[in-house]
């Protein structure tokens, strides 16, 4: 297996997707059937679904909170946390996952592109999202302390835009230009935009690009290096610090 060489003149941008969390037992819902209890997941992951049945949506995410809370970071999560410890500000992790496992493994420089399962925000006012690990009882709805509107999970649902501040952090890291850029995507489908285009952004500034995936991604041909395998097995032995 090729080695990913990281030295004092290298900055590393990592993108992680559902494959990394799946190795910790987090169920992926965009798999073969895309169903939850025989219903399309879009019913619980769109603004329209929340407007139609907020209790159903909160039951779904309360179940996800309980399930994620029972899972543990795997060797892939821990390897990335160790790389960050060694690289410091020359490391940035952008994740499409919402389960908080990277942070529990020790990662701090994390951009949560799709939000967090463990944050809640108001669906109606501009109240700042807040940490919330509560597993609500079935049928329960919480209301905002400031406007009395319904609270919702701080998740980017289908049809919603990613937070511009998150994209800015990734873009600024790509364009920094003070060090050699390496971009690594792990456990991603290569089909969800704009993250699927990060590889092109990295190549556009002369970066070397790596993909670690159990299966080829939709954009595998855009990467300089493809290592096929489970992230928990590949990442702990991939990096070499020069």
CATH number assigned to the domain comprising residue 22: 3.40.50.1220
User: Is residue 140 annotated as part of the catalytic site, yes or no?
Assistant: no
Q: Are residues 16 and 77 in the same domain?
A: yes
* pTM summary value: 0.94
H helix runs in 71-115, sequence order: 75-87, 101-105
Q: What is the pLDDT of residue 35?
A: 59
Q: Residue 30 pLDDT > 60, yes or no?
A: no
Q: What is the pLDDT of residue 188?
A: 95
Q: What is the pLDDT of residue 5?
A: 95
Phi, psi of 53 (to 5 degrees): -155, 75
Q: Rounded to an integer, what is the distance from CA 200 to the centroid of its chain?
A: 19
Q: Rounded to an integer, what is the distance from CA 193 to the centroid of its chain?
A: 13
| Closest CA relative to residue 152, chosen from 217, 90, 62, 89 | 62
Average pLDDT (199-218) is 96
Domain limits for position 95: 4-26+73-114+161-241
Q: Are residues 90 and 42 in the same domain?
A: no
Report the run of H or E that residue 110 belongs to, with start and end: strand 110-112
The total of structural domains in the chain comes to 2
Q: Are residues 136 and 85 in the same domain?
A: no
Report the run of H or E that residue 19 belongs to, with start and end: helix 18-22
| Active-site residue (options: 114, 140, 224, 225) | 114
Q: Are residues 167 and 185 in the same domain?
A: yes
Average pLDDT (98-103) is 97
Q: Are residues 22 and 45 in the same domain?
A: no
Question: In this predicted model, what pLDDT tens digit does every residue of 105-164 receive, in sequence order?
Answer: 999 999 999 999 999 999 999 999 999 999 999 999 999 999 999 999 999 999 999 999
Burial-class residue 2 by CB neighbours within 10 Å (0-12, 13-18, 19+): exposed
**Both tokens assigned to 74:** 């795997």
Average pLDDT (177-183) is 96
Q: How confident is the model at residue 32 (pLDDT cuts 50, 70, 90)?
A: very low
Q: What is the pLDDT of residue 57?
A: 95
Q: How confident is the model at residue 1 (pLDDT cuts 50, 70, 90)?
A: confident
């Amino acid at each position: 297996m090729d080695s990913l060489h990281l030295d004092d003149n290298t900055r590393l941008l990592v993108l992680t997707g559902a494959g990394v969390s799946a190795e910790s037992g987090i169920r992926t819902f965009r798999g073969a059937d895309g169903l939850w209890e025989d219903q399309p997941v879009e019913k619980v992951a769109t603004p329209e679904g929340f407007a139609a049945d907020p209790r159903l949506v909160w039951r779904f995410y309360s179940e996800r909170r309980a399930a994620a809370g029972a899972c543990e970071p795997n060797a892939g999560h821990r390897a990335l946390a160790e790389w960050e410890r060694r690289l410091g500000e020359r490391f940035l992790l952008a994740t499409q996952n919402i389960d908080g496992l990277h942070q529990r493994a020790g990662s701090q420089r994390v951009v949560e592109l799709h939000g967090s399962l463990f944050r809640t925000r108001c669906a109606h006012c501009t109240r700042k999202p807040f940490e919330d690990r509560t597993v609500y009882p079935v049928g329960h709805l919480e209301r905002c302390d400031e406007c009395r509107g319904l609270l919702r999970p701080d998740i980017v649902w289908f049809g919603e835009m990613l937070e511009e501040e998150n994209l800015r952090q990734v873009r600024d890291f790509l364009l920094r230009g003070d060090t050699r850029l390496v971009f690594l995507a792990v456990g991603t489908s290569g089909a969800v935009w704009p993250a699927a285009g990060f590889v092109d952004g990295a190549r556009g500034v002369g970066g070397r690009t790596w993909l670690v995936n159990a299966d080829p991604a939709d954009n595998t041909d855009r990467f300089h290096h493809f290592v096929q395998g489970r992230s928990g097995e590949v990442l702990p032995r991939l990096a070499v610090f020069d």
